[in-house]
Amino acid sequence: MKTRITAVILTASLLTVGAALAQPRGALIASCAACHGEDGIAREADVPHLAGQNEAYMLNQMANFRNGSRRHPEMRFMARELGDRDIKDIIAYYAALPAR
Ligand code: HEC
């Protein structure tokens, strides 16, 4: 009986972790945060801030990086690596952050 309850509790907490991981944020944002910051404020002088930037503008830039009309090796790689859905989620996240 005791083992059974423990198992139920364990399953419940695993489900919670699963739900958290299912959110686009975490892992996806981490791949951008290295340069643009988790808060959308870049740490390097040559990297633009994304916090509070216009959403449509950023989506356009991602498309431009992907098709090569805006040239930048790292951003081209990032834009090609991710699917449209992921890019939309990430851009929505950055657009919603407070600008500095
Ligand atoms: C290796 C560092 C690096 C990583 C990782 C990176 N970026 Fe960038 N990003 C840059 C740099 C540098 C620029 C400026 C490019 C230029 O000078 O044209 C940029 C530009 C951008 C722009 C255009 C901003 C503007 O104001 O025009 C967007 C949008 C953007 N990045 C989104 C992302 C997203 C989303 C991710 C994650 C999927 C990401 N970046 C990952 C370095 C990075």
Decide: 91 and 49 in contact? Cβ < 8 Å. no
Cα(95) to centroid(ligand 1), Å: 13
Q: What angle do CA 94, 98, 100 make, to 5 degrees?
A: 110
Q: What is the pTM of this model?
A: 0.82
Cα(21) to centroid(ligand 1), Å: 24
Q: For atom 3 of ligand 1, which residue has the closest CA?
A: 35
Q: Where are the domains of the chain?
A: 25-96
Over residues 50-92, the pLDDT tens digits come to: 999 999 999 999 999 999 999 999 999 999 999 999 999 999 9
Q: d(Cα 66, Cα 68) in Å, to the nearest integer?
A: 5
User: Which of the following CATH numbers is that of domain 25-96: 3.40.50.150, 1.10.760.10, 2.60.130.10, 1.10.357.10?
Assistant: 1.10.760.10
